[in-house]
Amino acid sequence: MQAIRLIARDRALQLITLAFLLHGSFAASLVPYRSLLGVEWFGLSDGMFSLVFACGSTLSLFCAIGVGVLTDRTGRRRNAARLASAAGVAGAALVFLVNETWAFVVAHILLFPIGMTLFAQLFTLARLAASVHPPEVRTGLLSAIRAAFAVPFVVVLPIWSVVLSAGVPLIWVYGICAIAELTTLTLFILAWPADGRTLWKDAPSGLTLVGALRELSAPRVVGGAAMVVLVLSGVQMYLILVGLILTGFEGRDAGDVAIFVGAVAALEIPFMLAMSGPLQRFGQVRVIAFGALIYAAFVGLMPVLGPLPIVWVLPLLGALGGAVILTVPNAYLQDLMDARPGAGGSLIALCNLAAQLLAAALFAAGTAVGGYGLVAWIGAAVVAAGGVGLALRGTPSRA
């Protein structure tokens, strides 16, 4: 595939791909188990864990916006990536070595929110590194690089299942997370080129915080981002509903849910790697609209096909749509802020959080009126509306 060949010949893209793989290992290890660790291992109440999670998510958003604006203003992106990696190492090592509730709270409220800004920063660096290649291949490159973040969710999680079943204490999740982020930090210390010595141009913007926020709040940016939020909410709706819907049918259990989710995640990767061709032929917004309609059908069909054997065809549909909406909208958002790559990364973080909040609101509203099936159909309509809305808006003009 063209994208893979280009990555294989470009050292900067290779480093970014490796960083995504390592950071994906961090996320795949931590995210599925953090609630279990907080409540069962460290003894937090459900309410206290929710408060810790909400505080961490809020700080993570402010950090992502601040880092994006600051790196655009100064052009010092390597140090920001080092800081995020170091925060991830510090948080994971603190919890693993201290093994006390206060360490868990400090890590998840303060250190991990800083560390999680690395995801948006990696997208920013990937976009800059891809800018030395022809415009028609750049979005395909970003999709292929993003696939590296998905790989650990297919590979690492089954390993954890085996390891934990063998009796390894759950606290070791933090030990492995510390090693993964320490490797990422080492990459940015020893291998990443110094700011100002890269093959791509990245001149500091000099913008103040107010000026940067004014650009982020421009009507064309807000309008495009709003459509992306509708599309991205589909992934959050799927994650909320899949277990509730499937286990609600006779003969379905948690094992079926695990197989279903694993199949979707595994199939997404080859579709991500094959994104370059369709993007060159049809363009970003048409591909996003197609992916959104496919994903809307996937979400909407879950309660219909759930009790039937044909439900096992749905992961193919979900993977095709998911491969699009997990990758291409990020490139679209960065195009909305083309002259400000750091702010583009901030916009990605902002839209992801907004999508989570929208999905939670739709779930609450739908379950108040009807059942999980109604929630799925409402979510499908919202996702489809976002995709169609983006198609009608067309390609984003450059900032």
The 10s digit of each residue's pLDDT in 189-242 is 998 888 777 777 766 666 666 777 777 778 888 899 999 999 999 988 888 888
> Between residues 36 and 182, which one has the greater pLDDT?
182
User: Percent of the chain at pLDDT above 70?
Assistant: 95
Please tell me the predicted confidence (pLDDT) of residue 184.
Answer: 95
> Between residues 99 and 199, which one has the greater pLDDT?
99
Q: Is the predicted pLDDT of residue 399 greater than 60, yes or no? A: no
Residue 359 host element (H or E) = helix 341-369
Query: How much is the average pLDDT of 331-345?
Result: 78
**24/342 Cα distance (integer angstroms):** 20
> Between residues 399 and 229, which one has the greater pLDDT?
229
Query: How much is the average pLDDT of 70-75?
Result: 78
Rounded to the nearest 10 degrees, the angle between the axes of helix 135-165 and helix 2-9 is 90
Q: Which residues contact 272 (CB under 8 A, 6 or more apart)?
A: 143, 144, 146, 147, 150, 323, 326, 327
**314/124 Cα distance (integer angstroms):** 33
Query: How much is the average pLDDT of 111-133?
Result: 88
347, 227 in Cβ contact below 8 A?
A: no
Query: How much is the average pLDDT of 89-94?
Result: 96
> For residue 397, what pLDDT band results from cuts at 50, 70 and 90?
low
- The single residue listed with the structure tokens 């299942």 is 161
Query: How much is the average pLDDT of 44-50?
Result: 83
> Between residues 83 and 203, which one has the greater pLDDT?
83
Q: Is the predicted pLDDT of residue 341 greater than 80, yes or no? A: no
> For residue 398, what pLDDT band results from cuts at 50, 70 and 90?
very low
- What is the average pLDDT value for the chain, to the nearest integer? 86
Copy the structure tokens of residue 232: 């991205």
**80/114 Cα distance (integer angstroms):** 10
Copy the structure tokens of residue 389: 């809305």
pLDDT digits (tens, 9 = 90+) for 372-381: 899 999 999 9
Query: How much is the average pLDDT of 33-38?
Result: 84
Q: Is the predicted pLDDT of residue 258 greater than 80, yes or no? A: no
pTM: 0.81
Q: Is the predicted pLDDT of residue 96 greater than 90, yes or no? A: yes
Q: Quickly list DSSP for 163-231.
A: HHHTT--TTHHHHHHHHHHHHHHHHHHHTSPPTT-SSS--------HHHHHHHHT-HHHHHHHHHHHHH
